[in-house]
């Protein structure tokens, strides 16, 4: 399980980079890859959610980061990344539904591999979702974990909101 001070595991996420053409909900966008190696020398806020368009994630979690984007950037955050096990096209559509535009990278943690490497997955098989990313937030500085917050209840959002992460920067 990852701890504060650890180097994050190397990973590559699938995502759809924002382009103005994506304002048309019928557009799919061009798939791309995002490597954690690109975060060398950067401060990154990464937050993970169990699923796109699900109640807490859709109504509260992602919107908190959209709302506080400017404040996070003012605190020296270079990139904000949201991950879930949903595929890159769903993540892109979910981001567009929430107005993330080019502010938040909406990436797919396919099969929850990155989250598993961190030790933060959740088994939601009972709800028909299978293994998902847990609900957690990291502040990563030059590939090192400097803030780690994990929700013990995947339906809760107490320590992983943008407001709480702002208080840690």
Kindly list the catalytic residues: 57
Q: What gap in Å lies between CA 169 and CA 165, rounded to an integer? A: 7
Pairing of strands 32-35, 105-108: unpaired
Q: How far is residue 82 CA from its own chain's centroid?
A: 2
- Single out the residue of 128, 72, 149, 131 nearest to residue 105, CA to CA: 72
């Amino acid at each position: 399980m990852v701890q504060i001070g650890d180097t994050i595991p190397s990973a590559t996420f699938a995502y759809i980079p924002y382009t103005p053409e994506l304002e048309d909900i019928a557009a799919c966008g061009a798939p791309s890859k995002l490597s954690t190696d690109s975060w060398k020398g950067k401060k990154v806020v990464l937050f993970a959610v169990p699923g796109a368009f699900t109640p807490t994630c859709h109504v509260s979690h992602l919107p908190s980061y959209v709302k506080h984007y400017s404040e996070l950037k003012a605190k020296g955050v270079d990139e904000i990344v949201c991950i879930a096990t949903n595929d890159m096209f769903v993540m892109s559509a979910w981001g567009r539904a929430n107005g993330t535009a080019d502010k938040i990278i909406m990436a797919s943690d396919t099969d929850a591999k990155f989250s598993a490497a961190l030790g933060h997955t959740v088994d939601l098989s009972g709800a028909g979702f299978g293994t998902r990313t847990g609900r957690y937030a990291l502040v990563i500085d030059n590939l090192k974990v400097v803030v780690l917050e994990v929700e013990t209840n995947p339906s809760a959002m107490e320590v992983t909101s943008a407001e709480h992460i702002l208080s840690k920067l």
